[in-house]
Every structure is written in C-alpha cells, then in structure tokens.
Amino acid sequence: MKKTVAVFMAGMFMFSMVLPAQANALEVNHYKGTVTLDGTPKRVVVLGLSSLDILDNLGIQPVGTPQGLLPDYLKKYENSSTNVGSLKEPDYETIYTLKPDIIIAETRMLRLYDDLSKIAPTVMLYPMDGHYWEDTQKNWRMLGKLFNREEQVETLIQKTGSELETLHSQVQAARLNAMMVMNNGGNIAMYDKDSRFSLVFHEFGFAEAFPSEEETKGLKATKGAHGNLVSFEYIAATAPDVMFVLDRDQAIGNANGNARTAFNNPLVNATPAAKNHKIVFVNPGAWYITSGGVTGTANIIADIRKALN
C-alpha cells in the first residue's frame, strides 16, 4: 500500500511539473498555419517593416530587425537591434545566433518560410491584396495574441476602423472617382480594386476611374510585373477626379524619385484631378513598405484626407 501511495505521489509531482508548461502554451494562427509556443516569446526577430511598425506601437522590442528602408519613426532600431538582412533576403546565420523564440515574416519572404521555420517557430503575416483592412486586423490581432497585447490591439482597431468609416462616408458623399498609379522608373502602373492598393476603392470608397472605349482611341492598359502599365495619354483619356501617385523609386531608396517632375506635363495637367488640385503624391514608405502597420495605416489615411481638402 505504501509503495502504491509513493508511486501515486511521484506521478502527481511529475504531473504538477508538466502542468504549468501546458497551461502557458500559446497557440497562434497565421497565414501559413499554426504555431504553438511555451508562453509569450521574449526573443523576437522581425523580417518586415509592417511587422516592426505593429510591434513598435505595441511596445515590443525585437532582438533582430531589417535595417534598410526604415522610415524615420523606426530608425531607432538601427541602434537597438541586430541587423538580420534585407526585406527580401534574411541573414540566416545572424538569425540563428540570436536564438529567437519567434520569427515574424511577411509575404515578401513567403518562399523562405520552411527555411526560417527550421531556425525557430515562424509566423507569416496575411497578405493584404484585395482585403486591406480585413487582413490588417487579422495581423494586428495575431501579434496582439502572441505578445499578450490583445486589449491594446482592440483599441487600435476601434480607432482606425472609425477613421476609415468616416472617410468612406465622406468620399461616397463627394461622389469622386480615382486612379491609383505608381511611377516605377520609366513606367507608369495603374492599380485596380483587386490589387495590393485595393483600399483606395474598398475601404475608402472611391469609384474606379475608367475611360470609355471612344476616349482611349485604342490606348490599352498592359499587364506588368507591378500593376497594369499605362501611358500619360491613357491617364488623360481617363480624366480622374482624384489621382494618387506612388513613387516606387523613392519607396525603395533610389534618391528622391522623379514622380512630381514626370507627372507635371500637359496631359496630366488637363485632368480634373490636376485642375482641382487633387493629385496626391502619397507617402511612398507607408504605401509600399509599411502598409498594414499601425503608423503606416495612419499615414495612408492622412494621404486620403488630402484628396478631400
């Protein structure tokens, strides 16, 4: 009998030792599946600037971050974290030596997910093509759960969602159509409601500006690596009420870009957008690098407001 009790007590002791780890287990769903962790991660490696933006707003200090193309409000991480590579190519050796509890990746590194997961548990942010605010909320909530900041995230979502709804109502009342274009070297790309910049049309409520077949006179939008390639003649024929212009060269750090100079021409200046001072040269970093972040989204909202002034 004594032996039985002793075995039972030993078993209970072992169970009690295991129980806290199970109780603290954290399961988080993300774009590539589910990760399970033994509690809130402490050593965090971030591989994208949207993620870094979100963590910055949640007060989380990563041990490793990319350090190229940082906007001013994230430059502090140049000194407070270790450089883990570019936005497309991680430094695997450095990441490994940092011994992260979690790696946070974005879709620019989707092809590398399996390799990263061999180093440490890895979560992948949801892409935002066609569903900006829906997927942005998923990402904020995912990271909020990961770092026990869920209440803080819900406050941010409520505030940002309210601003989006207000702007949507204002745009709808103004009955404005818009073009979203990107200046990329010598090319101009147009983006529609199903693209990475769908929020112009879905979240903010602008109608898509389309030229009639007669107005285009044979001008076509051609599918390209970045959006649909168009010409200034096509823009003139479309005659948008509002035009949002993203300078990709500036976004990726190629000097100051030349979008303002390139778009200052007779064809563009004849559009209603130019005549009514509704060409908005958007914050390139916010739209191209930190979109989906908290501050990134706030900066996008600020650009949209300019079109309504």
Residue 265: CB partners within 8 Å, gap ≥ 6?
A: 232
135: exposed, middle or buried (Cβ count in 10 Å: 0-12, 13-18, 19+): middle
Question: According to the model, what pLDDT value does residue 172 have?
Answer: 97
Place of tokens 């500006």: 209
Amino acid letter for position 158:
Q
Digitized pLDDT (tens) for each residue of the chain, 309 residues in all: 444 334 333 443 343 344 444 457 899 999 999 999 999 999 999 999 999 999 999 999 999 999 999 999 999 999 999 999 999 999 999 999 999 999 999 999 999 999 999 999 999 999 988 899 999 999 999 999 999 999 999 999 999 999 999 999 999 999 999 999 999 988 999 999 988 899 999 999 999 998 866 555 556 666 655 688 999 999 999 999 999 999 999 999 886 778 999 999 999 999 999 999 999 999 999 999 999 999 999 999 999 999 998
Whole-number Å distance between alpha carbons of 183 and 202: 22
- Per residue in 196-228, pLDDT (tens digit) is 899 999 999 999 998 866 555 556 666 655 688
| Residue 261 structure tokens | 């100079």
pTM, two decimals, is: 0.89
Alpha-carbon torsion (212, 196, 132, 59), positive or negative: negative
| Residue 8 structure tokens | 């039972």
CB 247 within 8 A of CB 183: yes
- Using CA atoms, how far residue 239 sits from 122, 165, 262, 291, in Å, is 46, 27, 17, 27
What CATH number has the domain spanning 27-125? 3.40.50.1980
Q: Where in the chain is the domain with CATH 3.40.50.1980?
A: 27-125, 175-308
From the options 3.20.20.150, 3.30.465.10, 3.40.50.1980, 3.40.50.970, give the CATH code of 175-308.
3.40.50.1980
- Per residue in 227-256, pLDDT (tens digit) is 889 999 999 999 999 999 999 999 998 867
Q: Is 13 helix (H, G, I), strand (E, B) or coil?
A: helix
